Structure 1
Amino acid sequence: MSESSTPSLPVTFRPGRTRAVLLTVGLAMFAAITAVALMLERLGPGERVSFVFTAALFLGVLVLLSRPKVVADDEGVTVVNITRTRRLAWAEILRVNLRPGDPWVFLDLSDGTSLPALGIQPGVAKESAIRDARALRALADSRGTGVETA
């Protein structure tokens, strides 16, 4: 992939359909459980609060699951996974991998480790994930040092 086919920066990669489904289901579930808590006349105030609290926990988990993204800018890449965020300089990324059967992209790093980047996942939108992985690979190739360290 040539420099001209790399996306303009900054660019954000995220599983849009998955995110939309998770957030929609989370909000619908929160609304439904809260409505049930308010409509059940036999529930006391503490029980109603526990229903709403439980609905809020479900929503919170789905919001966390919808959080992953990969943001590339001139200085490097920010990988936001479910509970962690990691900032990488372009030179730290040796390879961008999305092999058949992988649940998401893996970044091979100059320190010898591999970092999962959940923001690019082929689950629902395989073609989009492949396109995003290729774009991130082209950016890493054009902006990184291109030299692997032992």
Structure 2
Amino acid sequence: MSAAATELPALPLSWAPRRNRLVLLPASAVLIVVFVGMALLLPASWQLNDRIMLTLLGLVFSGVGLMLARPRVDADADGVTVVNFVRTRRLHWAEIVRVNLRQGDPWVTLDLTDGTSLAAVGIQPGGGHEQAVRAARGLRDLAEAHGVTGEPATTA
């Protein structure tokens, strides 16, 4: 094995925007507590359906917060699992042609063998540019080492 192969990140590995989760998970819990509390403490003149709708509104707001906290990228020996806001996609290493994180990009994009690109929202500069660059390089190195496409992946 080459020297580059010995420096690969240890698998399994997971990348996620931790600051987002640190804010969104407690905020989602607080939203539920506040809206349910408001529904319970409203004056008696409020009807039951108003209280139910207020509770449901809190659940919807909390659900949006949980959805925004969801993105991550998990890498293991078989491939990568990209968990974005709504969808999850499992990729084999051979499907990844290139890992991109260009200046100004909101997150990493993966160029795939089928000619499409996939956003990997779990790796984003919003939580720290240098951290995102290290994560993108680590993912690139893993894709190059485990992939069979023979094409080099790049991070700019």
TM-score (norm 1): 0.92
Which amino acid is 1:12 matched to? S
8 Å contact from structure 1 (residues 12, 69) kept in 2: yes
CA contact (8 A) 2:18 2:127 kept: no
**Matching residue of 1:31:** 33
Whole-Å Cα distance in 2 between the matches of residues 49 and 101 of structure 1?
A: 43
RMSD: 1.4
The CA distance in 1 between the partners of 2:31 and 2:130, in whole Å, is 30
Task: Name 2:101's counterpart in structure 1.
Answer: 98
1:8 aligns with 2:10: yes
More moved, 57-66 vs 35-44: 35-44
Task: Show the counterpart of 1:65.
Answer: 68
Q: Which amino acid aligns with 2:14?
A: T
Contact 1:17 1:125 in 2 (8 A): no
Deviation at 1:134, TM superposition (A): 1.1
Residue 84 (structure 1) aligns with:
87
SS of alignment partner, residue 123 of structure 1 = helix
The sequence identity of aligned pairs, in percent, is 49
Q: Verify: 1:116 aligned to 2:119, yes or no.
A: yes
Q: Aligned match of 1:137 in 140, 145, 152?
A: 140
Q: Aligned with 2:134: secondary structure?
A: helix
Q: Which runs of 5+ in 1 are unaligned?
A: none
How many residue pairs end up in the alignment? 148
Does the 8 A contact of 1:91 with 1:143 survive in 2?
A: yes
Structure 2: any 5+ residue segments left out of the alignment?
152-156
Q: Secondary structure at the match of 2:127?
A: coil
Worse-superposed segment, 89-98 or 125-134:
125-134
**Regions of 4+ moved over 4 Å:** none
CA contact (8 A) 2:20 2:69 kept: yes
How far has the Cα of 1:98 moved from its partner?
0.6
Q: TM-score, normalised by structure 2?
A: 0.88
Matched-pair contact (CA < 8 Å) for 2:36–2:55: yes
Supply the distance in 2 between the matched residues of 1:61 and 1:109 (Cα, whole angstroms): 29
